[in-house]
Amino acid sequence: MEKNEEISFDDFDELVNPKPEENDFDRILEVALTRRGLLKSVVAVGSLAALGSAATLTPSEAIAATNRFAFDAIDANTLDDITVPAGYSAQVVTRWGDPLWSDSIEFNHATRGSAESQARTFGDNIDGMEVFAHGDKTLMVVNNEYTNRTTIWGNRAEGKFETDDDILKGKMAHGLTVVEIAQSDDGEWGVVVDSPYNRRVTPDTAMEMTGPAAGHDLLKTEADPEGKTPLGTYNNCGNGSTPWGTYLACEENFNGYFSAADEAHEVSPELQRYGVSASDWGYGWAKIDDRFEVSKSPNEPNRHGYVVEIDPRLPDSAPKKRSALGRFKHENAELVVNNDGRVVVYMGDDERGEFLYRYVSNGVFAPGGETDSLLEDGKLYAAKFADTGEGEWLELNPETSGMASMAEVCIHARIAASTVGATTMDRPEWVTANPNAPEVYCALTNNKNRGIKPNAGGDETPAGGPNPREENLYGQVVRWRPNGGDHTSNEFSWDLYVMAGNPKIHSDANAGSENISEANMFNSPDGLKFDSNGVLWIQTDGNYTNAEAFEGHGNNQMLAGDPVTGEIRRFLVGPNECEVTGLTWSPDKRTMFVGIQHPGEKGNSHWPEGGDAVPRSAVLAIKRDDGGLVG
Ligand code: FEO
Ligand code: CA
Ligand code: CA
């Protein structure tokens, strides 16, 4: 079966790996009835309580909170352009296909490049990103999550590859790009062409596997009989960073690149749980690389689905796959140094009905000390939320999962989390920790299957707890506070920061929580990141039809949220058919960098160049016109 552009990755996974249909009418009815009561209690302990706290602020606290937003909200729109508030300006720093070296080939709008040009230019579809100060240099690392076939092969009939070079061009558009960036005399940011730090990390780059899974039989292949040196990273979605100066790239939909020439080939149940099948998503990698022919390389998919640590200061270093953080469809990795020095990483698995995870290191972080073991040696947990507003982290280990080793637990983390009874979530996307309080937020983007059908492992997905709406179209942001402010505590309390919705057309729960109005409505929160002042930035990857259930939402956007008052204001609207994702700041906090992914994914954008130009994913630099701080 072939995936077309109109169908989402999750929908395609469901088509090729159909899940059991729900047919127990009595149970559905019971869930529906329970849901009505639950929704009230969730809203009571959730967003309404958060908003209620605004009323109890002292006047000076209220003013301080209001002043967090140094801009006037902008309206939703459907322009093929970037819109930012008055007093702010946005410029393009770099785009898909821009040269990294002086001998790189410039982007060609007619051919959209070749494998050779793509391998030495900026990758496609920008996602997670981070900026690092390194001496007097500014280094930027950017995920290039995937490529839109009808865009990159838009020079071919029907937007499909025709040659092996076309396939390799698509492959080289994936991975990451590391660049040195600098400001010109007039303050414009750009790439330092020929910087020794510039680097492409691709699906073919040599890597090192670390942690419990390294060397396990499930990771051994003909090309790597020791199971320790996988090649490549791809479909890197969100990101994280460490206090020791490294970048964390998170492998998400790795399954969609594997296929078998024999369409009837059946993969193992474990691979099916991760969505691997005989059909890929139309990228064709197996036609040029046997690693992706799953009948020949059945262990290759076990070597992907990890958090990958990359040191941008060492352009020749092998990235390290951190198996201790579990294998699943990683969205991002939010690293917090706990009060006792242990490293805690919060991570979402972005698929309908999958789980939220936490990793806790055994060792402690000390500036200047050894850091290599901190992401190799620790404990892995999955979250269980109770409807009461409490929750707990359930440890995943051989005893709790019934698996033979910690290696298996890490490789099959989804299956271990199902075994311990973790809570099925509405597609956990980015997680971010408040720098001013021991609390953590996660975007639950949407889940049309909530209350309708089980997840890929057969776990039921009743509406309730932090996932209160059946057939959830709009998404919500959940937050939790670890007991005693200790991120290693296994207990937490939770509430909902916001339920997105549409108050223009709904008056029930689909209107959203009380901090949503016709002035700030949005759908499908995805990117989520606190700035250093404690403003919560929310980026969307949702429905941009601006019609019916989404009337008034406009194009995808970025909003700022106040964690104390619950106020949310729209800051940026992206061009047509894009997703806004990836956010970081310059070391002096006077520039905010924002990623624009897949503009014109259905063929209706020429951003950023306009005219007849091919739309190109790009990194924006946004500054205040008065040169003030932006984060
Ligand atoms: Fe790549 Fe979950 O978004
Ligand atoms: Ca995302
Ligand atoms: Ca998304």
Distances (CA, A) of 126 to 54, 93, 580: 36, 12, 9
Interval between CA 429 and ligand 2 midpoint (Å): 6
Q: How far is the CA of 529 from the centre of ligand 2 (A)?
A: 12
Residue nearest to atom 1 of ligand 1 (CA): 237
Distance CA 61, CA 242 (A): 32
| Res. 9 pLDDT band, cuts 50 70 90 | confident
What does the DSSP 8-state code read for residue 134?
E
Pairing of strands 320-322, 208-210: parallel
| Segment 121-155, tens digit of pLDDT | 999 999 999 999 999 999 999 999 999 999 999 99
| Closest ligand 1 atom to 237 CA | 1
pLDDT for 238 equals 98
Kindly give the distance from the C-alpha atom of residue 184 to the centroid of ligand 2, in angstroms, as a whole number.
31
Task: With cut-offs at 50, 70 and 90, classify the pLDDT of residue 37.
Answer: very low
Return the pLDDT at 318.
98
Nearest atom in ligand 1 to the alpha carbon of residue 235 is: 1
Neighbours of ion ligand 2 (CB under 5 A): 237, 429, 526
Neighbour count for residue 282 (Cβ, 10 Å): 21
Q: Which ligand is nearest to the CA of 445?
A: 3
pLDDT for the residue 29: 32
What integer pLDDT is reported at residue 301 of this predicted model? 99
- Answer yes or no: pTM beyond 0.95: no
What is the number of the ligand 1 atom nearest to the C-alpha of 348? 2
Q: Above 90 in pLDDT, residue 53?
A: no
* CB atoms near residue 587 (< 10 Å): 11
Q: Does 48 have pLDDT greater than 60? A: no
Ligand 3 centroid to Cα of residue 220, in Å, is 32
10 lines ligand 1 (CB under 6 A): no
Q: Is the CB of 331 under 6 A from ligand 1?
A: yes
**What's the 430 CA to ligand 3 centre distance in angstroms?**
9
pLDDT over threshold 60, residue 600: yes
Say if residues 476 and 525 touch (Cβ distance below 8 Å): yes
Asked whether 98 lines ligand 1 (CB < 6 A), one says no
Predicted confidence at residue 346, as pLDDT, reads 99
- Confidence at residue 41, expressed as pLDDT on a 0 to 100 scale: 39
Residue 246 pLDDT greater than 70, yes or no: yes
| Residue whose C-alpha is closest to residue 333's, from 302, 369, 308 | 308
306: three-class secondary structure by DSSP: coil
Residue 49 has pLDDT above 70, yes or no: no
Q: What is the 404 CA–ligand 1 centroid distance (Å)?
A: 31
Beta strand extents in 146-185 (DSSP E only): 175-183
Q: What is d(CA 133, CA 151) in angstroms, rounded to the nearest whole number?
A: 34
Categorize the per-residue pLDDT at 17 as very low, low, confident or very high, splitting at 50, 70 and 90: low
Compute the distance from residue 67 Cα to the ligand 1 centre, in Å: 32
49-78: average pLDDT:
62
Q: What is the pLDDT of residue 11?
A: 76
pLDDT at 56: 46
pLDDT at 343 over 90: yes
Ligand nearest to the CA of residue 235, numbered in listed order: 1
Q: Is the CB of 204 under 6 A from ligand 1?
A: no
Residues 424 and 459 sit within 8 Å (Cβ to Cβ):
yes
Q: Report residue 4's pLDDT band, with 50, 70 and 90 as the boundaries.
A: low
Q: Determine the 3-state secondary structure of 595 from DSSP.
A: strand
Give 559 Cα–ligand 3 centroid separation in angstroms.
Answer: 16
CA of 197 to the centre of ligand 3 (A): 30
DSSP for residue 312: T
Q: To which residue do tokens 């020929």 refer?
A: 194
| Residue 126 to residue 616: CA distance in whole angstroms | 10
CA-proximal residue: ligand 1, atom 3 (nearest): 237
Closest listed residue to residue 374, CA positions, set 332, 429, 333: 333
Looking at the DSSP bridge assignments, the partners of residue 199 are 178
- Cα-to-centroid distance, 453 and ligand 1 (Å): 21
CA distances (Å), origin 59, targets 48, 202, 534: 20, 53, 19
CA of 444 to the centre of ligand 2 (A): 10
For residue 253, the ligand 1 atom closest to its alpha carbon is: 1
- Please state the φ and ψ torsions of residue 543, each to the nearest 5 degrees: -75, 120
Q: Which residues of 269-280 are buried (b: 16+ CB within 10 A; e: fewer)?
A: ebbbbbbbbbbb
185-237 confidence digits (pLDDT tens): 999 999 999 999 999 999 999 999 999 999 999 999 999 999 999 999 999 99
Task: With CA atoms as reference, report the closest residue to 68 among 564, 538, 478, 498.
Answer: 564
Q: DSSP state, 414?
A: H
Return the beta strands (E) in 301-459 as ranges: 307-310, 320-322, 330-337, 342-349, 356-364, 378-385, 390-396, 428-433, 440-444
Q: Mean pLDDT for the chain?
A: 92
Q: Is 380 exposed, middle or buried (0-12, 13-18, 19+ CB in 10 A)?
A: buried
Mean pLDDT of the 429-447 span: 98
Question: Using CA atoms, how far apart are residues 490 and 504, in angstroms rounded to an integer?
Answer: 40
Ligand with the closest atom to the CA of 351: 1
Q: Which atom of ligand 1 is nearest to the CA of 145?
A: 1
Instruction: Say whether the peptide bond before residue 608 is cis (omega within 30 degrees of 0).
Output: yes
Residue 21 has pLDDT above 70, yes or no: no
Largest CA distance in the chain: 69
The answer to whether 424 and 455 have CB atoms below 8 angstroms apart is yes
pLDDT interval class at 65 (50, 70, 90): very low
According to the model, what pLDDT value does residue 68 have? 75
| pLDDT single digits (tens) 556-586 | 999 999 999 999 999 999 999 999 999 999 9
What ligand is nearest to the CA atom of residue 527?
2
Contact present, 470 and 22 (Cβ < 8 Å): no
Ligand 3 centroid distance, CA of 631 (Å): 24
**With a 6 A CB cut-off, is 429 part of the ligand 1 pocket?**
yes
| Radius of gyration from C-alpha coordinates of the chain | 23
Which ligand 1 atom is the nearest neighbour of the CA of 329? Answer: 2
Cα 284 to the center of its chain, rounded Å: 24
Ligand nearest to the Cα of 328, by number: 1
Question: Which tens digits make up the pLDDT trace of 273-294?
Answer: 999 999 999 999 999 999 999 9
More confident residue, 45 or 230: 230
166 in contact with ligand 1, CB cutoff 6 A:
no
Question: pLDDT-based confidence at 28, cuts 50/70/90?
Answer: very low
Task: Decide: 106 and 83 in contact? Cβ < 8 Å.
Answer: no
Identify the CA nearest to 490 among candidates 390, 365, 624. 390
Domain ranges of the chain: 9-95+218-624
Query: Would you call 396 helix, strand, or coil by DSSP?
Result: strand
| Structure confidence at residue 18 (pLDDT) | 58
pLDDT, tens digit, 9 for 90 and up, residues 307-341: 999 999 999 999 999 999 999 999 999 999 999 99
The minimum-distance atom of ligand 1 relative to the CA of 127 is: 1
- Lookup: tokens for 148: 């839109």
- Ligand 1 lined by 350 (C-beta under 6 Å): yes
DSSP 17: S
**Mean pLDDT, rounded, for 480-484:** 98
Ligand 1 proximity of 252 Cβ (cutoff 6 Å): yes
* pLDDT score at 67: 57
The whole-number pLDDT of residue 494 equals 98
What is the mean pLDDT of the segment spanning 522-537?
Answer: 97
Q: Average pLDDT, stretch 36-65?
A: 40
Residue 151 φ/ψ, nearest 5 degrees: -90, -55
Distance 538 CA to ligand 2 centre (A): 11
Residues, CB-to-ion distance under 5 Å, ligand 3: 526, 541
pLDDT higher at 251 or 10:
251
Separation of alpha carbons 200 and 172, rounded Å: 9
For residues 250 and 335, the answer to whether their CB atoms sit within 8 Å is: no
Joined together, the tokens standing for residue 610 give: 């306009």
- What is the pLDDT, as a whole number, of residue 32? 35
CA 430 to chain centre: 5
**Ligand 1 pocket, 237 CB below 6 A?**
yes
Q: How far apart are CA 139 and CA 584, in angstroms?
A: 12
> Which sign does the torsion angle of CA 147, 153, 158, 161 carry?
negative
Kindly give the number of the ligand 1 atom that is closest to the alpha carbon of 238: 1
